[in-house]
Structure 1
Amino acid sequence: MKKIVFLLLLSLPLLLSAQDCDCPSNFAWTKKTFEENDAGFAYVIDEKGRQSYEDHVGVFAEKVKGIGDINECTQTIYEFLTFFRSGHLSVQTLSGQSNQAGSQPTDEDIIQQFAEWEKLGVDVAEFEEYLEGKEAHDFEGVWVSNPYRIGIKKVGGEYLGFIIEADGVYWTEGQIKLRIHEDQSATFYMRDHSAQEFAAAELVGNNYLQMGFITLQRVTPSLETEPAVENYYRAIAAQDPYFEQVNPQTTLLRIPRFWGSEKWKIDSVINANRELILQTPNLIIDLRNNGGGSDGSFQELLPILYTNPIRTVGVELLSTPLNNQRMLDFINKEEYGFDEAGKRWAQAAYDKLSERIGEFVMLNEYPVTITSYDTVYAFPKNIGIIINENNGSTTEEFLLAAKQSKKVKLFGTTTIGVLDISNMYFVPSPCNEFELGYCLSKSMRIPEMTIDDKGIQPDYYIDKDIPQYEWLKYVTEILGE
């Protein structure tokens, strides 16, 4: 009997471990971890009310009960967290986790899974010859979007996009990849064949087709290219910062992202062209779709736009044992790249935070930092910063600094608004199935000047009557007046 009891006790942790990996357990862990550690939790509860939150918890506690797929579980948990804010949240499945229990499907399994997918039989050579002979041009054509080559043909009242070339596994020749309906709404089928619906499919110039975040480029028939459209898609597709002279009076600096790893590229482009920038009356900084990164990455821009002291309101960190671990990560993990001085700062910060567990702690001596430079440059005298709804986080921090310059005006549309609750930290779930990303800090601008879910408005709103590929032209003309 003793042996049997002993064996049962040995197996108990295994049974508990398996039980703890189900979706309700993952949900419970996420809820507890977020409530105890996220810097924005208490603020949102105060704003929305405890009962509203409890009702929200009840809905999602029921939702997760029947979920066995880890990807569906993490997506549901992410939706639960959006109660608190629209950004600076993450629930990401860790690599090696498959959609279903068991081994990964083979290529042949995937091919068979989609073998009955609707197809359109088209002789591609004849279709291309037909396209080259057309006088009027519409959605019909051959289009590319890596790794796909797609033919679009009008069939009845709608346009059907069929695969010409693809990976040969998830998508094979002839399969229907997209539909543009009679009202010009569109359905695009993703890699896993899930449907993504878009309100409108739009031709941009002669050679681009835009459906929400999906862009296709026409390769047949061969049509005249338009410089403004080509320059726009070059800017939007850019992975690296670049500089160019728009005209004798205006230069352009395109910065796609402020990631810490991009700082040296941004600094290099600025320094290589500093002389021309400081000799030219107007400067345009194109930040469209720049979602943020590291504050250090925009520091080289500040002296160029500077006219008067820049005031930056600081943050407070929520001190908890889990949150404070990040300071130890800075010291012990090489990927953070901290030098000895940085490690000493992290150790001092850890010590200060550890003395005040459960409180918000300001690491800086003063709540407001004032940055001054010795020189106010004569040129550029006008600086236009192009922004849109995909700007957030560090990019918004830069805009708050830039707006204090008398030279600067913002052009475009309102930013997304994800700045007040920041400094993300990522922790693995107990079973290492996914990683939770939440925030450690709260801005001391709260509540007088909040950005979250409001965004930063432009000085010059660019309305929808101005195509996005003409935004640069519009800003250039305004600055040149």
Structure 2
Amino acid sequence: MNKSICTALLVCALSVAANAQQCNCPENFDYVVQKLEMNYARFPDKVPASEKKAYARLKAKTERKARKAATTDSCAEVITGWLNTFHDGHVYLSPQDKAAPKPLTPAVVKQPNLARLDEQTALLVLPSFSIRHIKAIDSLVAAFKDSPTPQLIIDIRGNGGGGDRPYFGLLPLMYTRPYEVHGVEFLASEDNIANFEALLQEEIPANTRKVVEELVATLKARPGQFVPFGEEKSVATYESVSKTPVRIAVIQDQKCASAAEQFLLYALQSDKVTTFGTSNTKGALDYANVTELPLPSMPYLVGIPSSRSTRLPETSVDKAGIAPEVKLPKHLEDPVSYIKGYLKAEAQLP
């Protein structure tokens, strides 16, 4: 064989071996398994005693796949496949971008928007409940209050969640009777505690800091246990019912998840609101407050929910998502116009 070809093949083989060693998939998979078993608030429910043998077999099968994964990409595929068996939208493997985050522009991220469709109807589009949208959504809610309409359509299609604070301004508009509110329970693991301690190193409001400090102290006092945060079940009330809007429609789809689903749970408690959609939501709300941990030798983060809702086990969102009250035809070209007409007919408006 030609000497130069032999040299090239040797260099190539050494390069592949170096990449495989650098990835060390078995190490990364074992790390993910360990961290998930220690920190996942759903793990005790997902893997009860009756399922431990099946879980062990699946883990051993995935370990064999990990030993064969020679690249970072193939290893990420193996780990993601295993995480997907938990069927939890808050359990994930995500690339870790070490570069400074670039500012997001309207061309990259869809922005909240308010439009007046006619004298009776306004349309509020909320593609995300990201905390970066708090000011924008508050401003749009204020604009609606300044020039209200009897009907309001809130379009949250494609909204994968974010935080609860962005939609708080809408709760008084939807309010007709006390909202039922459920708390959460945090799993007091070392990593989950460290996640909150890291938050205390950031600039956060004084009232938020006090709450987090108290939570950290409680978690440290009860290691390995589930610690209640907030009341198991309570009610939230407002002084009065807003005169406008009179009727509210919320449009949902299968991509609505997390905070968007929590918003829907509030909306469904209002006598003003009717929800519309072609399908149920994604179902990713029961286990939340994700702790992200970097893998030892891969540029990835594993996301693990640290809390579970006190709605469980009686009321689960993750099992089937949230169904719309009015099922829309799948091939409807203009859902907004359809819903506008639906609301007018219901109110007998011209």
TM-score of the aligned structures, taking structure 1 as reference length: 0.63
Structure 2, unaligned stretches of length 5 or more? 1-19, 100-106, 346-350
Cα deviation digits, residues 421-464 of structure 1 (max 9, x gap): 11111111123532111110011111111011310000001122
CA distance in 2, matches of 1:434, 1:237: 23
Supply the distance in 2 between the matched residues of 1:20 and 1:319 (Cα, whole angstroms).
Answer: 33
Q: Which moved more, 1:406-415 or 1:73-82?
A: 73-82
Answer with 290-299 or 55-64: which moved more: 55-64
Equivalent residue, structure 1, for 2:147: 276
d(CA) in 2 for partners of 1:247 and 1:445?
Answer: 40
Question: 1:378/1:339 Cα in 2 relative to 1: closer, same or farther (>3 Å)?
Answer: closer
Quick one: which of 165, 173, 180 aligns to 1:311? 180
Give me the whole-angstrom Cα distance separating, in 2, the residues matched to 1:414 and 1:92.
Answer: 25
Contact 1:75 1:91 in 2 (8 A): no
For the residues of structure 2 that align with 1:431 and 1:419, how far apart are their CA atoms? 30
Answering whether residue 242 of structure 2 is matched by residue 377 of structure 1, we say: yes
Give the aligned residue type for 1:50: K
Mapped to 1, the partners of 2:330 and 2:95 lie a distance apart of 37
Tell me the amino acid that sits aligned with residue 459 of structure 1: E
Matched ranges for 1:83-102 at <5 A:
83-95=85-97
Q: Distance in 2 between matches of 1:299 and 1:466?
A: 31
**Counterpart in the other structure of 1:257:** 128
Match of 1:298 among 159, 167, 189: 167
Q: Indicate the residue corresponding to 1:22 in structure 2.
A: 24
Query: Residue 92 of structure 1: CA displacement?
Result: 2.0
DSSP-derived class of the 1:367 partner: strand
Q: Secondary structure at the match of 1:390?
A: coil
Counterpart of 2:309, as a letter, is S
Partners of 2:167 and 2:86 lie apart in 1 by 28
Partners of 2:127 and 2:156 within 8 A in 1:
yes
Q: In structure 2, what is the equivalent of residue 66 of structure 1?
A: 68
Per-residue deviation, residues 286-326 of structure 1 (Å, max 9, x unmatched): 00000000011110000001000001111100001111112
User: What aligned pairs does 1:222-261 form with structure 2 within 5 A after superposition?
Assistant: 239-261=110-132
Q: Alpha-carbon deviations, 1:196-240, whole Å to 9, x = none? A: xxxxxxxxxxxxxxxxxxxxxxxxxxxxxxxxxxxxxxxx99711
Query: In the alignment, residue 252 of structure 1 is paired with which amino acid?
Result: L
What is the rounded CA distance, in whole Å, between the counterparts of 1:43 and 1:251 in structure 2?
44
Alignment of 1:127-276 (within 5 A): 239-276=110-147
Distance 2:49 2:237 in 1: 36
Match of 1:448, SS? coil
Higher relative contact order (CA 8 A, sep 6+): 2
Structure 1 residue corresponding to 2:211, chosen from 340, 345, 361: 345
Q: Which residue, 295, 298, 312 being the options, matches 1:429?
A: 295
2:37 is the counterpart of 1:42: no
Runs (4 or more) in structure 1 with deviation over 6 Å come to none
In the TM superposition, what is the alpha-carbon distance from 1:402 to its structure 2 partner?
1.1
- Cα deviation, residue 87, structure 1: 0.5
Per-residue CA distance 1:349-371 (angstroms, 9 max, x = gap): 1110101111100022x212311
Alpha-carbon distance between aligned partners in 2 of 1:311 and 1:392, rounded to the nearest angstrom: 20
Aligned pairs (5 A) from 1:438-449: 438-449=304-315
Partner residue in 1 for 2:327: 461
- Shift, 1:50, TM fit: 1.8
Is the contact made by 1:71 and 1:93 (CA closer than 8 Å) also made in structure 2? no
Q: Which residue is 1:179 aligned to?
A: none
CA contact (8 A) 1:86 1:453 kept: no
Q: Secondary structure at the match of 1:273?
A: helix
1:28 partner SS: helix
Work out whether 1:419 is the aligned partner of 2:288: no
Q: 3-state SS of the aligned residue for 1:385?
A: strand
Q: Aligned partners of 2:184 and 2:164: how far apart in 1?
A: 13
Of structures 1 and 2, the larger Rg is shown by: 1
- Per-residue CA shift, 1:2-37, capped at 9, x if unaligned? xxxxxxxxxxxxxxxx96850011101100110111
- Count of residues paired in the alignment: 319
Q: What is the alpha-carbon distance in structure 1 between the residues aligned to residue 109 and residue 274 of structure 2?
A: 23
Q: Provide the residue aligned with 2:9 in structure 1.
A: none
Contact 1:85 1:453 in 2 (8 A): no
Retained in 1: the 8 A contact 2:23–2:298? no
Counterpart secondary structure, 1:78: helix
Tell me, what secondary structure is at the counterpart of 2:147?
Answer: helix
Task: Give the equivalent residue in structure 1 for 2:262.
Answer: 397
Any idea what SS the aligned residue of 2:117 has? strand
Aligned to 1:191: none
Out of 226, 230, 235, the residue aligned to residue 360 of structure 1 is 226
Q: Distance in 2 between matches of 1:322 and 1:54?
A: 23
The CA RMSD over aligned residues, in Å, is: 2.1
Q: 2:80 aligns with which of 74, 78, 85?
A: 78
Give 1:474 shift.
1.2
Instruction: Work out whether residues 78 and 90 of structure 1, in 8 Å CA contact, stay in contact via their aligned partners in 2.
Output: yes
Cα deviation per residue 1:142-194 (whole Å; 9 max; x = unaligned)?
xxxxxxxxxxxxxxxxxxxxxxxxxxxxxxxxxxxxxxxxxxxxxxxxxxxxx
Contact kept? 2:183, 2:229, Cα under 8 Å: no
Tell me the CA shift for residue 94 of structure 1: 2.5
In the alignment, which residue of structure 2 is the partner of 1:320?
A: 189
1:378 is displaced (CA, Å) by: 2.2
Aligned equivalents of 1:429, 1:70: Cα separation in 2 = 11
Q: Distance in 2 between matches of 1:34 and 1:58?
A: 16
**Which structure features the higher share of helix residues?**
2
TM-score of the two chains, using structure 2 as the length reference: 0.86
